[in-house]
Amino acid sequence: MSKIKKKVVAIVGPTASGKTAFGVRLAKEFNGEIISADSRQVYRGLDLGTGKDLGEYDGVPYHLIDIADPEEKMTLFDYLPLARAAIADVLSRGKLPIIVGGTGLYVQGIVEGFELQVAERQSVGVAEYSRQELDGKTVKELNDILDKIDPDKNLKVDRKNAHRLIRAIEMAQEGLTPVKIKPDFEVLQIGIDLPRNLLHEKIDKRVDARFAEGMLEEVQVLIDRGVSTDWLIGLGLEYRIMTEFLQKIAKLSNCEIAELPKNNSATMKQYNNEFLEVSQDLKFKSHQFARRQMTWFRRFPEINWLSEYDQIKRFVKIFITH
């Protein structure tokens, strides 16, 4: 008798495309649990800016959200063993693991079985750098260092993110090399495909909603708790834009960020012109980010691009019953 194949479903796509809502509906329909594939939702306290939307889960169990403190190291290769353990746990209980997220490298790492192995060190003719030395480098300088240490570009990393570049350099200096080990489960990948104008409209509405719900205050609270502004800026998008906005307002007010009032509506009203400018900037940058996400995901022909739940449901039903 043939062994029953382990099945996993992945719902991917750009920001604000409705991945979580689709994932939750599938989980209810097919006795599933959600496994987040979002590089920022792992952090506690980063809620509105990362779009956790935990209220949407409506009782559906989820994994790999709120598992690390801000500034705690959490790279792709820290995440992957946790994701594999979560998948194994869900499967062991006879339930369907449903990966949901827009961090393409995390999804790719799960699907293709990325792992780190210690390779024999080779002299690459460059000095080793301490974390303190790397913290003082620009993004361009970090890219140049990584290119010298890893000329074959084995380490996949966001080349615009200083924090991830630093960790990649550290891994390369430790002689760690990524390899692919085929996982023991099959994955059905479904991408949420929305018309661009509709996606931009959804992004803009979500930005407005997040401001109304207290996104500025969320960032202020994180800073008050001692989270580094450099780390928040390094997260990119919402947290970079919000932190830089608060720095600007604090400078205009001749005070520290901690001294600003914890009232989003008051801040927005007092600095109306600046707020409108930052709101539009966040919307525009989010549109750009969504395009980059789609460019990443379109590289993979195995992703099935769908937009309606009934279509997605049919694909999943066929996949798990054959």
For the cut 50, the answer to whether the pLDDT of residue 123 exceeds it is no
263 and 221, same domain (yes or no): yes
Average pLDDT over residues 37-55: 95
209 and 136, same domain (yes or no): no
Which residues neighbour 12 within 8 Å (Cβ) at sequence distance 6 or greater? 19, 37, 99, 101, 102, 104, 107, 189, 190, 191, 192, 297, 303
Average pLDDT over residues 92-111: 96
For the cut 70, the answer to whether the pLDDT of residue 267 exceeds it is no
Across the chain, mean pLDDT equals 89
Tokens of 38: 């979002």
Digit-coded pLDDT (tens) for 147-201: 888 787 777 777 888 877 888 888 778 777 778 889 999 999 999 999 999 999 9
Q: What share of the chain is helix, strand, coil (3-state, %, to 5)?
A: 55, 10, 35
Residue 242 lies in a domain: yes
Give the model's pLDDT for residue 73. Answer: 86
Residue 132 lies in a domain: yes
- pLDDT band for 40, please (50, 70, 90 cuts): very high
234 and 201, same domain (yes or no): yes
Query: Higher pLDDT residue, 148 or 64?
Result: 64
- pLDDT band for 2, please (50, 70, 90 cuts): very low
Nearest to 157 by CA among 228, 109, 227: 109
260 and 217, same domain (yes or no): yes
Picking from 128, 154, 179, the residue at the C-terminal end of a domain is 179
174 and 225, same domain (yes or no): no
Q: How many domains does the chain have?
A: 2
- pLDDT band for 124, please (50, 70, 90 cuts): very low
Digit-coded pLDDT (tens) for 214-262: 999 999 999 999 999 999 998 989 999 999 999 998 998 888 888 887 7
159 and 204, same domain (yes or no): no
Give the model's pLDDT for residue 62. Answer: 98
Instruction: Give the domain range for residue 284.
Output: 196-291
148 and 222, same domain (yes or no): no
Give the model's pLDDT for residue 117. Answer: 75
- Supply the DSSP symbol for 123: -
Give the model's pLDDT for residue 174. Answer: 75
233 and 259, same domain (yes or no): yes
201 and 275, same domain (yes or no): yes
For the cut 80, the answer to whether the pLDDT of residue 104 exceeds it is yes
Residue 16 lies in a domain: no
Residue 232 lies in a domain: yes
Residue 3 lies in a domain: no
151 and 236, same domain (yes or no): no
Can you give the pTM of this predicted structure? 0.84
Residue 266 lies in a domain: yes
For the cut 80, the answer to whether the pLDDT of residue 309 exceeds it is yes
Q: Which residues sit opposite 100 in a β-bridge? A: 11, 36
Residue 12 lies in a domain: no
Residue 57 lies in a domain: no
274 and 200, same domain (yes or no): yes
Give the model's pLDDT for residue 286. Answer: 97
Give the model's pLDDT for residue 127. Answer: 65
Which residues neighbour 96 within 8 Å (Cβ) at sequence distance 6 or greater? 7, 8, 9, 26, 27, 30, 31, 32, 33, 90, 320
273 and 209, same domain (yes or no): yes
